[in-house]
Structure 1
Amino acid sequence: MISDVFITCAVTGGGFTVRSPLVPITPEEIANSAIEAARAGAAVVHIHVRNPETKRGSRDTALYREVVERIRDSDVDPVINLTAGMGGDLVLGGANAPLPPDPAGTDMAGALERLVHVEELRPEICTLDFGTMNWGAGGDYILVNTAATLHAMAARVKKLGIRPELEVFDAGQLVMVNDLIEEGLIDDPPLIQLCMGIRYGAPDDLTTLMALVHRLPPNAIFSAFSIGRKQLPYVALAPLVGANVRVGLEDNVYLSRGRLATNAELVQRAVEILERIGVRVMSPEEVREKLALKVHA
């Protein structure tokens, strides 16, 4: 068990659908929601952006720029964590005719193209999704992150002096994590996010979680979360296995059964849970020191 943890708020996500009217869509809404989450106790805000018209996830650097500038100009100073997961969306044409891909859902970009917004805005953290996997209940969607792409992205992020958060969705992806650490592409301490409960990824039961924990690099700093109704129980579980905490509307839209949440309310509930079990919530400044982050702006 660890007695000091930091909370990450995953503010909006980049999925195709929006499951709650409280999910922020525009850059102003995303920034305001991140600011409110920081005031509630989130030390880190994990940012995707959405096309304001279609509401779908976007890689538009201008949208990221507006969100980041609004947060940096606010009266709070959370650690900004930008996704680099967009640009790996592949929707095949069907079981009997997989090619050409379906253009309506496919968004494939090169390794450096996926980092354009990160290179320009220089957050302290950006995420790298550490594997290719089927996603969702059936269908032809694949989240694509090849070994070559991850090597190229990790090398570029290291050169930029940005801390990568390594998103792990299943046990085999930790093999890739260890390979890149051994190759010197990931600086110490490695920062890892265990993403549980995503369909066709690692289930969110305790046995699976502990199997992943036992395969982590020995000096890793890590967080663990589950999507949906297990999100808040995982707030209490995470410190017991040595993990930090993540909540937010990217992963779960409910505060309780039938009660839609805001990001700030999810963070507030996480703070309450942690304090009631004797775990102290860390500040952004403490997280910067713990992770040896470089402030670029």
Structure 2
Amino acid sequence: MTRDVWIEVALNGPWGRERQPLAPLGVAEIVAEGIACARAGAAIVHAHAFDEATGRQRDDWETYARIIEGIRSKVDAIVYPTIPIAGSGYAGELRGAAERYAHLSELARRGLVEWAVVDPGSVNFTRLDAARGEPGFVYLNPEDHVAEGLRICEAHGVRPSYAVYELGFTRLGALMAARHPRLPTPVYRFMFSDEFAWGAPPRPAFLDAHLALLAEAAKGAPWMVAGLGVDVTPLIEPATARGGHVRVGLEDAPWGTTRANVAWVEHAAREVSRAGGRPAEARRIRETAGALDAR
């Protein structure tokens, strides 16, 4: 039986066109690419909002509302925003938990979001190519920030999407989710990279390590393969065979890629079909995830 595989597209990322010249930045661009990617098979759309004058990330709920409503006015898709990448030069100084999640809280209160970024742990962002001499940074997710994100998700029925940069993120994410009995089941997004020194490169053996821990910490939870500065194509077939899902797009792709978002989605959809799956519709994702919540 052909199984549904969720395909998510991450349209841009915090670095905007600094690392990805093809990334959409303006609201109209983001909406147009989100619609096109949904029609190509990505039922989940993730985006960063930007100040169009400066090209820097700007996380205000009004801009995200325009993006979400613009995409969903044309296609049925799960569209969700990011959070400031605290500790980096892309988001300024570390903010308090409530301020960092203020846009999500307002979007959730208005019923505009179904999923949310809640990253359960901090991690060093150091590039593998040390010869470049670029200083890294620590992506900061203190426990009170994680708790605030989960509080909002539980209060409004929003599904957390966990970026699992290291194996321990799965353990912490499961532990903190257990404190919120009405929380929708989180999605565990295993992060791979060829650009950064965290995590692991996209090889099936490392995927299996993630899955072994997930089976102990959060058995049956939905998961997907993703990353930053990486082509996850080598993991699409094993992920499909093992019951997982896939994220692609210009946030995640190797820096400077000449393949645009729609082409990444089309490529992922072909690989999913070749592996015996089919791109899931948003309706089916909601039904499947909802069944997990009811267990």
**TM-score band w.r.t. shorter chain:** 0.7 to 0.9
CA shift for structure 1 position 112: 1.9
Partner of residue 123, structure 2:
133
TM-score by length of 1: 0.84
Query: 1:116 is matched by which residue type in structure 2?
Result: A
CA shift for structure 1 position 234: 2.5
Partner of residue 194, structure 1:
190
Cα distance, 1:5–1:211 mapped onto 2, change above 3 Å: same
Larger helix share, 1 or 2: 2
CA displacement 1:110-132 (0-9 Å, x = unmatched)? 22222222222231101111111
CA distance in 1 between counterparts of 2:185 and 2:87 reads 29
CA shift for structure 1 position 47: 1.6
CA distance in 1 between counterparts of 2:257 and 2:92 reads 33
In structure 1, list runs of 5 or more residues that go unmatched. Answer: 92-103
CA displacement 1:83-113 (0-9 Å, x = unmatched)? 23x152256xxxxxxxxxxxx8633222222
Partner of residue 86, structure 2:
88
2:262 maps to which of 261, 264, 269: 264
Deviates more, 1:124-133 or 1:186-195: 186-195
CA distance in 2 between counterparts of 1:12 and 1:19 reads 10
CA distance in 2 between counterparts of 1:276 and 1:261 reads 20
Deviates more, 1:108-117 or 1:165-174: 108-117
Partner of residue 246, structure 1:
247
Cα distance, 1:78–1:221 mapped onto 2, change above 3 Å: same
1:153 maps to which of 134, 149, 152: 149
Query: Percent identity between the aligned chains?
Result: 27
1:111 maps to which of 94, 97, 112: 97
SS of 2:126's equivalent in the other structure is: coil
Larger strand share, 1 or 2: 1
For 1:218-257, list aligned pairs within 5 A.
218-252=219-253
CA shift for structure 1 position 23: 0.8
For 1:176-191, list aligned pairs within 5 A.
176-184=172-180, 187-191=183-187
CA distance in 2 between counterparts of 1:276 and 1:160 reads 38
Deviates more, 1:126-135 or 1:50-59: 50-59
Cα distance, 1:2–1:167 mapped onto 2, change above 3 Å: farther
Query: 1:193 is matched by which residue type in structure 2?
Result: R
TM-score by length of 2: 0.85
Determine if contact 1:223/1:243 at 8 Å carries over to the other structure.
yes
1:121 maps to which of 107, 114, 117: 107
Determine if contact 1:87/1:110 at 8 Å carries over to the other structure.
no
CA distance in 1 between counterparts of 2:241 and 2:185 reads 20
1:273 maps to which of 271, 274, 278: 271
CA distance in 1 between counterparts of 2:233 and 2:54 reads 30
Deviates more, 1:51-60 or 1:34-43: 51-60
CA distance in 2 between counterparts of 1:117 and 1:89 reads 18
CA RMSD of aligned residues (A): 2.5
Whether 2:45 is the aligned partner of 1:45: answer yes
